[in-house]
């Protein structure tokens, strides 16, 4: 076979290609007029849009979730309209919703961090209330004690975060 009066074996060796690849590309050029691949269809999710939206909101609301929990919620909400295996959920999270294990772990860590801060704040409020109720000193002294406890508690919260 010749391409512009030059043997395809010679062209392939000059370009550093296999002879078979060059022949395939040349046939593609002759049939389509272009060596570029045809436009491929845009990949879409295997799941319906409302199902993807549900999973997206579920993941935001429950950053520390197990696949079993998500599978249970999907089956409860969508019955058996589609198969919901762990592999399907993992594939949908990764490719359809662009949520990797790293992103999900980061969200879970942030959620735990905020929960820890809320617990520390609740402890601070309870200890302050206990101090105020147990104090038999004057009103002015109780206010000073309250401010002191709040400052110490805020320093503790800041140190633990």
pLDDT in tens, 68-103: 788 888 888 887 667 777 778 778 888 877 777 666
105 pLDDT exceeds 60?
A: yes
The residue to which tokens 């049939």 are assigned: 31
Q: At what angle do helices 139-160 and 101-134 cross, to 10 degrees?
A: 160
Which residues are within 8 A (CB) of 67 and not within 5 positions of it... i.e. 6 or more apart? 86, 89, 90
Q: What is the pTM of this model?
A: 0.43
pLDDT of residue 132: 58
């Amino acid at each position: 076979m010749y391409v512009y009066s030059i043997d395809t074996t010679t062209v392939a060796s000059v370009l550093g290609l296999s002879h078979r690849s060059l022949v395939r590309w040349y046939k593609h050029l002759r049939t389509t007029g272009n060596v570029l691949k045809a436009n491929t269809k845009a990949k879409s999710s295997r799941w319906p849009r409302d199902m993807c939206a549900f999973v997206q909101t579920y993941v935001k609301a429950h950053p520390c979730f197990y696949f079993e929990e998500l599978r249970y919620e999907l089956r409860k909400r969508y019955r058996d309209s589609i198969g919901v295996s762990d592999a399907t959920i993992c594939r949908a999270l990764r490719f359809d919703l662009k949520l990797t294990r790293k992103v999900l772990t980061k969200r879970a860590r942030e959620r735990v961090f905020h929960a820890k801060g809320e617990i520390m704040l609740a402890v601070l409020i309870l200890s302050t209330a206990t101090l105020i109720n147990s104090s038999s000193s004057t009103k002015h002294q109780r206010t000073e004690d309250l401010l002191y406890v709040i400052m110490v508690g805020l320093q503790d919260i800041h140190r633990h975060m």
